[in-house]
Amino acid sequence: MPDLPIVLVPGLGSSVRNHLAILPTLWRHGSVMVINQTRDDTIAAMAKRALDEAPPRFALIGHSLGGYIVLEMIRQAPERITRLALLNTQARLDAPETTALRLHRIAETKAGRYAEMQAANFPVSVHPSRAEDPELIEMARLTREDAGPEAFLRQQAAIMARKDSRPFLKDIRVPVLVLSGDQDRSISNEYSREMADLIPGAKLVIVPRCGHLAPAEQPEAVSEALEDWLAA
């Protein structure tokens, strides 16, 4: 593949920090732009803003919430996107119990307990073997400070109001990577397999010993998968 800009969209309450270890791999293939996804309260608005800021044509990566955004971006402007990577994300809507958990976290945030709530959630965001990893804990702390509680509230509202993207997946006609951690407890591997089955020609990669924060937990494996995807 000739050099082409790469656009990366981080996840819920996240920032560029979660992706720092994979940026060198991406950079070798072209310029890299990391979208600030904290400024809007709908997925459609997030996608439009990202498209307004992005180059004319580009490869596109979305992690978690970023996956919801990039699916909307390729729906809005399919002619501008040359390939798509969906990391630790899903196309379907939330189950009722997930919505209830989101509402609880919204209430905690509005009550001034954003930092405490996010810290308590950290262990289920990573592989069990990394739950007490000091470097990952510090990365997560700084990441949530980058985003902040107001952005977290906007993002949760956007997530709960999003569309079901599954009917659209059959129309995607670019090389697609679907990647997840083998113990992602935030978004089940089942939903990654579902996306890969519905997108024509998609490649599925399940990273061993990995949770929901794959780019930070297993950057070498994620980088290898992205390298293959960019070369496809």
The model's confidence at residue 3, banded by pLDDT at 50, 70 and 90, is confident
pLDDT range class, residue 2, cuts 50, 70, 90: low
Chain centroid to Cα 226, Å, comes to: 14
Rounded mean pLDDT, 209-228: 98
Q: Using alpha carbons only, give the angle 208, 210, 213 rounded to the nearest 5 degrees.
A: 145
CB-CB contact of 68 with 165 (8 Å): yes
Quick check: 11 pLDDT over 80? yes
DSSP 156: H
pLDDT in tens, 145-157: 999 999 999 999 9
Query: What is the pLDDT at residue 4?
Result: 86
The mean per-residue pLDDT over the stretch 4-31 comes to: 96
Whether 189 contacts 156, CB under 8 Å: no
Show the tokens assigned to 211.
Answer: 């949770």
Domains of the chain with CATH codes:
6-94+156-231 (3.40.50.1820)
Length of the chain: 232
- DSSP letter at 19? G
Mean pLDDT of the residues in the chain? 96
